[in-house]
Chains A and B, each alone.
Chain A
Amino acid sequence: MKRKIAVALAAAVVLAVVGGIAIQADEFTKKDQERWEKEYMSVVQKGRELWTSPQLGTNGVACAQCHPNAANTHPETYPKFQQQLGRVIALREMINWCIQQPLEGKPLALDSPDMVALEAYVAYERRGVALAPGKH
C-alpha cells in the first residue's frame, strides 16, 4: 500500500513537472508573436531581394524576370510529380533547376538560408491559397 502511494506520488510529481513545462510553453505574449512575425518578414524581405537581383546566377537574369511577384510558381502544389524530371520533388528543387538553367548559376544547398528565404518569399506571395499537393 505504501509502495502504491509512493508510485502515485512519483507519477503526480512527474505530471506536475511535465505539465508545468507545457503550461509555460503556451504562455507566449503578443510581444513574442510580433517578434516572430518580424523575424519571418525579414526573411521574406531577403527572399524578395534575392528574387529580384541577378546575384543568384551568372548572366544577370533574375527570378522576377519570368515570375513577377513569384507568380506561376505554385508553391501550394509541392511536393508534386514534376513530369519533366520524372519524380516527386520539393519546390526548392525546382528553384535550383531555375537557378541552374535560365540563370546559369550554381544550385544552392537545399537547407541554405538563401533557399529558405526564397521559399519564404514565394509562399508569402501565395498566402491565402489552399494547399493542393500534387496538383497540375
Chain B
Amino acid sequence: MNPIVPSRRDFLKGAAAAAAAGVVPMSLVKLAFADPAQDFTFAYISDAHIQHISGTKFVRNWDRGLIRAVAETNLLTPKPDFVMFGGDLGQLGTKAELDHGAEMLSKLRAPLHCVMGEHDYYLDLGEHWSKLFGPHWYSFDHKGVHFVVLNSILTHDEWTYNRWPSAEERMLQMAGLDNPNGSPFMVGEKQRAWLKADLDKVAKTTPVVVFSHSPLQKLYKGWNFWTDDAEEVQAILAPFEKANVVYGHVHQIQYNQIGNISFNAVMATAWPWPYPNSYAQAQHTMPVLTVPMNRADPFFERDATGWQFIDVRTGRVALKYNLYNNTARTVAWNPATGKPEDTAFQDPAKRVPPQVHY
C-alpha cells in the first residue's frame, strides 16, 4: 500500500489528537504524485494579526489563535515537510509585534517560509520583517513542485513615499480594511519581471504553486480583496498546465478557477471577515463558484477559523476544511466541469441557512 496516501488515516489520528485540544486554524497541504516516494505535505497558517497593547501586553484573542495553530500543526501526522505563514503576522508592523509573532512561530517543528502582508510592511517597508524572515519574494523547489512567494501588497510609489507625514500614519491608513484613504495592492513591474524570468526556467508541465497575501484576482476593491495587476500576473502563470494560487488576507473560504489557474484562500487565525456581498453599498465580483462558509458566531472566539487539508494529487487542489463549530467542508477539483466545487454544498438546494450571508 502506498505509504503516504493512506496517511489520511494517520492524519486523522493527528486530527483526533488535535480535536482534544480544539481544532486547527491552519491548512495542511498535501501534494501527491505518481511516484508515492515524492508525496509530501505542508501546513499553512495565516493572518495572525498579533497586536501590541503596551509593555508586555498583547491582544489575548489574537495571541491564542496563533499559539493554537502552531501547537496543533506540531501534532500533525505525517509531519509536514514545511510550514507556510501567509502574511499579516503583526497588526501595525512594529518590532514588538513581529518579534512576539516570530517567537510563537519559533515553536514550529518544521522549516518555515513566510509571505509578506500589508500589516507587516507599511511601517518600515518590510525592513524588520526581512531581518526575521528573509527576502520579500523568492522561489524554491520541493520534490518536483515549483513554489513561488510574491509580495503582492505593494502599491503606487506616490502613496508609499510621498503621501503621509510619518511611517506610523502610513501604517495606520493601510491597516484599516475599509479605509477609503488606502491604496490598491499590486505586485508591480519589477517583481513581475522577476517572476517571468524565474518561471522561464521551469517546465510547463511542472506543478506551480504561488503564494501571495492578496488574492491574485479582482474580487472587491473596497477591502483590497484585489490585486491591481492581477491580469498581468495571471498571464505569466497561464502557460502552466497546473498552476495554483494560495492566498490569505481575506480571512474566509474562497475558491475560483480562471483558465488553468486554481485559486484558494486560507482562513485567518485571528478573526473572520464578512463576505463582500454582505456590505449593502458595495459593488463586487465574488467568484460565483464559492459557496460561503457559515456565518461566524461571535460568542465562539475561534469560530469561522479552521484548517484545510489540501490534496494536490492530480496537480489540482482538493481542500478539506475542518471547521470549529460547523460541518466539515470539502472543495475538490471536478474533472467533469473543470472547476473546483464543494462536494456537498455546491448545489444551491443542498445549502444550509447559515451559508446565506446578507
Contact = CB atoms under 8 A, between A and B. Distances in A.
B176 A52 contact: yes
Contacts of A68: 177-178, 223, 273-274, 279
Interface residues of A, number: 25
Contacts of B295: 72
B51 A69 contact: no
A101 B281 contact: no
Contact of B271 (A52, A66, A101, A128): A66
Residue of B53, B295, B297 with most chain A CB atoms under a 10 A cut-off: B53
A129 B299 CA distance: 25
A46 interface: no
B297 A72 contact: no
Interface string B212-249: 00000000001100000000000000000000000000
A91 to B, nearest CB: 14
B280 A136 contact: no
Chain B interface residue bracket vs A: 20 to 34
Interface in A72-94: 72, 74, 84
Contacts of A102: 61, 271, 298
A126 B271 CA distance: 22
Given A66-B273, A84-B297, A98-B298, A60 B53 contact: yes
Given A66-B273, A72-B274, A61 B59 contact: yes
A59 interface: yes
B154 to A, nearest CB: 21
Interface in B160-185: 176-179
B271 A64 contact: no
Contacts of A98: 298
B279 A69 contact: yes
Contacts of A11: none
B279 A60 contact: no
B338 interface: no
Contacts of A58: 53
B358 interface: yes
Contacts of A67: 274
Contacts of A126: 280
Interface of B: 51-53, 57, 59-61, 91, 176-179, 222-223, 271-274, 276, 278-282, 295-299, 353, 357-358
Given A61-B51, A102-B271, 19 more contacts: A52-B179, A58-B53, A60-B52, A64-B177, A65-B177, A65-B271, A68-B223, A68-B279, A71-B278, A71-B279, A72-B278, A72-B357, A97-B298, A102-B61, A102-B298, A125-B280, A126-B280, A129-B280, A136-B353
18 contacts: A59-B60, A60-B51, A61-B59, A65-B271, A68-B178, A68-B223, A69-B279, A69-B281, A71-B274, A71-B278, A74-B358, A84-B297, A101-B298, A102-B61, A102-B298, A125-B280, A126-B280, A129-B280
